[in-house]
Structure 1
Amino acid sequence: MSRTAPVLIAGGWRQACDAIGSFHAENPATGEAIDGDFPVSGPTDIEAALAAASVVAAELAATAPERIAAFLDAYADGIDAANAELAVLAHAETGLPRDTRLAKVELPRTSGQLRQAAVTVRNRSWTQPVVDTAAGLRTHLAPLHKPVLVFGPNNFPYAFNAIAGSDFASAIAARNPVIAKAHPAHPHTSRRLAEIAHAALLASGLPAAAVQMLYHFDSTLGLRLCGDSRLGAIGFTGSRAAGLAIKDAADRAGIPVYVELSSVNPVFLLPGALAERGAALAEEFFTSCTMGSGQFCTNPGVVIVPSGVDGEAFVEAARERFAAAPAGVLFSRGVLDHLVRSVDALRAAGAHCLAGGQRGDGPGHRYQPTLLSVDAAAFLANPIALQTEAFGPVSLLVRAEGVDSMAALAAAFEGNLTGTIYRAGDGRDDDAWQRVAAALRPRVGRLIGNRMPTGVAVSAAMNHGGPYPSTGHPGFTAVGMPAAIRRFAALHCYDHVPDPLLPPELRDRNPGGLPRLVDGRWSEADLGSA
């Protein structure tokens, strides 16, 4: 086998020891191979990475928060300095717009969330200290003392990259070593990010094996790794099938696993909203559904439209836009093949094609913007099949007869990351909004008013999670500090432990002014102070 790109293992870059194959990236817009071979790691590399991370886990857990924060800040600075280079790499590997999406949006988001993690590390807010002075108990969230394995998805080459994204930042912020499994769709981008991370790691004085990266391994070895009890937790974003296989392996070993799986993100258009601004909503919907060729986890995959004149006008306006739009470039041949199967499944379940529905002409991996339609009765008769996620520029319109029908449809949805309800500005839809929201609220992580779901703000108040099957746990988010950090933490309780032996967050003195729940009341004061 020809020489392949080095892997980052045990504190340094080296050739894979027992690669069982190699792969190369592909330009999805042209279908052409991108120069450079990357290894498919075998069991020796995987074991070496896990062993090295396990060795440094205790050291990293005992590291001062300021050094962790300094690494996160230095890494963010390095990413910003390499913005132009990284944008070129990811553009070639993903087909995403170089400037408007990659350089100006996703890269600043990535460095920004690293800096947000650094702020949270410094103020220790993720630790959530609780003190019961009468019982002599003190509790906080603390490092796992074990490595975290992170799987990166294909659709965000920076912001969810296994070596740079929110899962990575969260696990490191909680002082856990990270073993990053890059996505094979963008290995050049991942390698450059890993080089920047490694340099920042060494400069900050953290253990050199605290950050490691493998490009790829086969599913059998991957599932074996996910079931290794030396792991502390796993973060995964990707397909439902792969995520559930990982979850099954981890569950059998008692390893916490946080998986983001699939979501159709239902959008409800109430009658007053359509009457008020139907043409604008059609344009907004089309833009959201086709942005990034529809390859967002919050793409509006199902839109519920009331029947009647305004509803039909919306459907026709949307259909015209979808029919006139060029085919979108998808990330890979695998994504294209999966999308074809998903659209076929929706049609087999009773959906009718209004526009698109075919592979696109031209080089690379392309699919036509596609609009499907079904009535409410058919949807309610076969709700699971008609909620098949079509990862691409595809959406299903469901025509509803009145608010009762809309509420029934809302109650039929599986768990989703988001749910959206559009209402009129004059209040005429408010009663209907309440009825639909009552059914939809338990089924979504984020309930949105009058906005398409595509954007995900990096905010402490954000929930990028939701009930199963959108994720594996409804109580956690993959975006937003400090909540995202808490996935990779353990609850440590101290029972009558002397003050000098306690972690700083739990001692009587509170020089940082950290908010603590003391005897049922929030306080930033030292214990025993007036």
Structure 2
Amino acid sequence: MSFTPHGKHLIAGTWVGAEQTFPSEPASGTSHDFSVGTTALVDQACEAAEAAFWSYGYSTREARAAFINTIADEIEARAEAITDIGTRETGLPEARLNGERGRTTGQLRLFADHILKGDYLDTRHDPALPDRQPLPRPDLRMVQRPIGPIAVFGASNFPLAFSTAGGDTAAALAAGCPVVVKGHSAHPGTGEIVAEAVHAAIEKCDMPKGVFSLIQGGDRAVGQALVQHPLIKAVGFTGSLGGGRALFDLCAARPEPIPFFGELGSVNPMFVLPEACKSRGTALGEGWAESLTMGAGQFCTNPGIAVVPEGAEGDRFVEAAAAALKDAPAQVMLTDGIAQAYRDGKARFDRRNAVQAVLSTESEGRNALPNLYETDSAAYLQDQELGEEVFGPLGLVVRTSSVEEMQSLAKGLEGQLTITLQMEDADTEAAQRLMPIIERKAGRLLVNGFPTGVEVADSMVHGGPYPASTNFGATSVGTLSIRRFLRPVCYQNMPAALLPEGF
């Protein structure tokens, strides 16, 4: 089923065009024109979201769960058309888009189930103690309440699961917060058709029109106006460190500062401990290469750095990784800009004397071929830029002479989304020495796996110390992510008729 976009914004139930347009840049097929967002549209969407909050924020959990499930139904009803436009715009394979659509609808349904259980409210009650001496205690009740309209920025690398109706939107709507989405210009048609699904769910469930709006991209001023709008109470963002930090600073500089929940990427180091390297070096090198090239390396959990022992065992790891990467085919990247940034990242490595090219390729156009470099821990710790993310299939092997060097390197890491340990039972003591360090550096720690692939579950943490994310106490994946859009309120001596749902 083919989908032809109309190129308009969805503002509180109405599809709105604009005089100025921007063309999409699909990996294949026909380009389409899309309306450029404006600050006036931002104001309209935020005003409508605030108006919707007075009813939606106080709706029942059952009503919100039904609405969220209906969004999932409407997305699935458009499954073939979503895959069609998504593959054309992004160059991602059909199987990837189908899987991501399943993840998107799955996390919507997960949040619907989660709010029906009510645990997220964290309800607490300290009954009155009128006879307590020397002072009586009042009746105290606490519950989590929605904070108001939320701004969500679509991600370039996940056109479904981290975009229009992705995890941030699902969590906010589940919490009772209306959402204004800033669509990503890398996949505006995909954003539009998913917005149509949300709009259909709003009408079927008789929800207030302002509970959801989509403003297409094309102008950075739109994003700036959105995070600075006085009616927006928090921001969910997945994207680059530079763009995210700029928006974070704008949020902090507002007359009323608001939280900016930015997931900004990571190099996700993998430590190959000595016994694991000795017994499984070749297999680990091959597995790392497979993870590194998955999705053309366009995952925020891409394991860009492997910390490997010096010596023959480590050599086998590097040789196996290089051989696997050499055989990897070119892959289409999400946008021309991302492809150019990947080439720029490679050039940055080529300019460094302390870095040796193990496999050097030349990528052209929108395609990416893998690259592999090697250095030692001393050089890595002296050059901060070696620890900066290159968005694409570029890997760096850092050779170490001892577990002590691994510890020193771990201490020098910036905040990460993930850190992985490859280990055998005989590596347990070395792993124990690393654990206190790496748990301060990352939001998710893995053993004998690869970090690409983020399970959507109650226990998942997708976040970490800065610069991996801007709020180390939050996650953008899993049911705990709903807490970003709630705040605790205490009710003292409150009559039952005035208490919110949950008591």
TM score, norm. by length of structure 2: 0.94
Q: 8 Å contact 1:302–1:395 — kept in the other structure? A: yes
Give per-residue Cα distances to partners, 1:8-63, cap 9 Å, x unaligned: 002222223xx5x32222233x5x6x332101112221211111111111111111
2:52 corresponds in structure 1 to: 56
1:492 corresponds in structure 2 to: 489
User: Partners of 1:435 and 1:207 in 2: how far apart?
Assistant: 54
Give per-residue Cα distances to partners, 1:392-442, cap 9 Å, x unaligned: 011111001111111111111000000000101xx1111111112222110
1:332 corresponds in structure 2 to: 335
User: Partners of 2:306 and 2:485 in 1: how far apart?
Assistant: 35
2:392 corresponds in structure 1 to: 392
Higher mean Cα deviation, 287-296 or 69-78?
A: 69-78
**2:8 paired with 1:6:** yes
1:358 corresponds in structure 2 to: 362
1:519 corresponds in structure 2 to: none
1:111 corresponds in structure 2 to: 105
**2:254 paired with 1:259:** no
2:345 corresponds in structure 1 to: 342
Match of 2:120 among 123, 126, 130: 126
User: Partners of 2:468 and 2:31 in 1: how far apart?
Assistant: 36
Higher mean Cα deviation, 171-180 or 322-331?
A: 322-331
1:46 corresponds in structure 2 to: 42
User: Partners of 2:201 and 2:347 in 1: how far apart?
Assistant: 47
SS at 2:431 equivalent: helix
2:401 corresponds in structure 1 to: 401
User: Partners of 2:328 and 2:226 in 1: how far apart?
Assistant: 44
Tell me by how many angstroms 1:484 deviates.
0.6
Tell me by how many angstroms 1:217 deviates.
4.5
Tell me by how many angstroms 1:198 deviates.
0.5
User: Partners of 2:14 and 2:487 in 1: how far apart?
Assistant: 29
SS at 1:504 equivalent: coil
1:509 corresponds in structure 2 to: none
How do residues 176-255 of structure 1 correspond to structure 2 at under 5 angstroms?
176-253=177-254, 254-255=257-258
Match of 1:464 among 442, 462, 468: 462
Q: 8 Å contact 2:182–2:223 — kept in the other structure? A: no
**2:69 paired with 1:69:** no
User: Partners of 1:217 and 1:320 in 2: how far apart?
Assistant: 41
Q: 8 Å contact 2:461–2:476 — kept in the other structure? A: yes
Q: 8 Å contact 2:267–2:305 — kept in the other structure? A: yes
SS at 1:471 equivalent: coil
Tell me by how many angstroms 1:4 deviates.
6.1
Tell me by how many angstroms 1:132 deviates.
1.5
Give per-residue Cα distances to partners, 1:186-222, cap 9 Å, x unaligned: 1111111110110011101110111110111522342
Tell me by how many angstroms 1:391 deviates.
0.3
- AA aligned to 1:489 is L
Aligned-residue sequence identity (percent) comes to 38
User: Partners of 2:156 and 2:327 in 1: how far apart?
Assistant: 27
Q: 8 Å contact 1:224–1:249 — kept in the other structure? A: no
- AA aligned to 1:356 is S
SS at 1:88 equivalent: helix
Structure 2 vs 1, CA of residues 78 and 4 (structure 1 numbering), >3 Å: closer, same or farther?
Answer: closer
User: Partners of 1:79 and 1:431 in 2: how far apart?
Assistant: 49
Q: 8 Å contact 1:346–1:388 — kept in the other structure? A: no
- AA aligned to 1:444 is A
User: Partners of 2:154 and 2:495 in 1: how far apart?
Assistant: 42
2:142 corresponds in structure 1 to: 139
User: Partners of 1:48 and 1:357 in 2: how far apart?
Assistant: 49
Tell me by how many angstroms 1:178 deviates.
0.4
User: Partners of 1:200 and 1:466 in 2: how far apart?
Assistant: 34
- AA aligned to 2:454 is V
Q: 8 Å contact 2:23–2:33 — kept in the other structure? A: yes
- AA aligned to 1:452 is F
SS at 1:297 equivalent: coil
User: Partners of 1:148 and 1:365 in 2: how far apart?
Assistant: 34
Q: Return 5+ residue gaps in structure 1 as ranges.
A: 507-530
1:440 corresponds in structure 2 to: 438
User: Partners of 1:142 and 1:217 in 2: how far apart?
Assistant: 34
Structure 2 vs 1, CA of residues 388 and 348 (structure 1 numbering), >3 Å: closer, same or farther?
Answer: farther
Q: Return 5+ residue gaps in structure 2 as ranges.
A: 129-136
**2:54 paired with 1:78:** no
How do residues 411-450 of structure 1 correspond to structure 2 at under 5 angstroms?
411-424=411-424, 427-450=425-448
1:102 corresponds in structure 2 to: 97
Report the RMSD for the aligned CA atoms in angstroms: 1.5
SS at 1:428 equivalent: helix
- AA aligned to 1:182 is G
User: Partners of 1:357 and 1:176 in 2: how far apart?
Assistant: 47
Q: 8 Å contact 1:289–1:394 — kept in the other structure? A: yes
- AA aligned to 1:319 is A
Q: 8 Å contact 1:117–1:169 — kept in the other structure? A: yes
Aligned length: 487
- AA aligned to 2:442 is V
SS at 1:159 equivalent: coil
Tell me by how many angstroms 1:504 deviates.
2.7
Q: 8 Å contact 2:185–2:218 — kept in the other structure? A: no
SS at 2:303 equivalent: coil
- AA aligned to 1:204 is C
**2:35 paired with 1:36:** no
User: Partners of 1:470 and 1:158 in 2: how far apart?
Assistant: 21
Q: 8 Å contact 2:39–2:221 — kept in the other structure? A: no
Give per-residue Cα distances to partners, 1:152-182, cap 9 Å, x unaligned: 1111111111x21000000100111100111
Q: 8 Å contact 2:23–2:32 — kept in the other structure? A: yes
User: Partners of 1:228 and 1:458 in 2: how far apart?
Assistant: 31
Match of 1:276 among 267, 272, 279: 279
- AA aligned to 1:168 is T
Match of 2:502 among 483, 501, 505: 505
User: Partners of 1:497 and 1:310 in 2: how far apart?
Assistant: 68
2:310 corresponds in structure 1 to: 307
